[in-house]
Chain A
Amino acid sequence: EVVLTQSPAILSASPGERVTLSCRASQSVDSHLVWYQQRPGQAPRLLIYESSTRATGIPARFSGSGSGTEFTLTINSLQSEDFAVYFCQQSKNWPPMYTFGQGTKLEIK
């Protein structure tokens, strides 16, 4: 099983700032890394897939990068609606055995 470790667990930032969230895989997942945003009381929302491709309707201030075992999600110019929990997930395994990171909570400083 691929274990995903996200850091930091909690990130405090102010609106307008740029933040970087990290996700490390226990073994290579190539570029098969997905990012989700989850707001309180809501289902996760697809942000980024294949490490760096933004999903439909996702603002350009969200960007992803990385391959192998190290990945980052960068959010430029934080907006109030961006304060949420972010999860990474790998979609590489075959046969399917998809795993998620434990999440990074982005909170207002």
Chain B
Amino acid sequence: QVQLQESGPRLLKPAGTLSLTCNVSGDSIVSSYWWNWVRQTPEKGLEWIGDIYHTGSGNYNPSLKSRATISVDKSKNQFSLQLRSLTASDTAIYYCARDKGPLNSQRGIFESWGPGTLVTVSS
């Protein structure tokens, strides 16, 4: 059974860059799944940030595309999120998640989630 775990700095300053890593265990990052980042705030609720395949192909929420980069590290069985030009509105719980299956019909169905990590942006 796949397990996901987010890690990274919890307190960041405005204008800085968020860097989070999702460690994957119980499955290979090069298996035929898409890997996602989702965030949650009390104000905006759940927001899909983007996804990535082990080939490096990915998609982003248009509202974050200019600031976000998702990448894969096959050697470490991890994928990562970078979010630049932070503001207080980026304060959120960040989750990594895996799609339900490799088929196109199974994309966007988030079956496995990490526990989430709270990131606070404050001066």
Contacts and interface: CB of A to CB of B under 8 A. Distances in A.
Interface of A: 1, 32, 34, 36, 42-46, 49-50, 55, 87, 89-93, 95-103
Contacts of A87: 45-46
Contacts, number: 60
Given A87-B45, A100-B45, A46 B59 contact: no
Contacts of A55: 100, 111
Given A43-B95, A97-B61, A34 B46 contact: no
A43 B116 contact: yes
13 contacts: A42-B115, A46-B100, A46-B110, A46-B111, A50-B105, A55-B100, A55-B111, A92-B108, A95-B59, A96-B59, A98-B108, A100-B45, A103-B45
Interface size class of B (residues with CB under 8 A): 20 to 34
Contact of B51 (A44, A49, A89, A96): A96
Given A96-B59, A97-B61, A97-B62, A46 B48 contact: no
Contacts of A89: 46, 108, 110
Given A1-B62, A96-B48, A98-B108, 19 more contacts: A32-B108, A34-B110, A36-B110, A43-B116, A44-B95, A46-B109, A49-B109, A50-B109, A55-B100, A55-B111, A89-B110, A91-B107, A91-B108, A91-B109, A97-B59, A99-B48, A101-B45, A102-B45, A103-B45
B46 A44 contact: yes
Contact of A100 (B47, B62, B107, B114): B47
A44 B107 CA distance: 17
A100 B116 contact: no
Nearest to A55: B111
A92 B106 CA distance: 10
Nearest to B47: A100
Given A43-B116, A46-B100, A97 B110 contact: no
A49 B95 contact: no
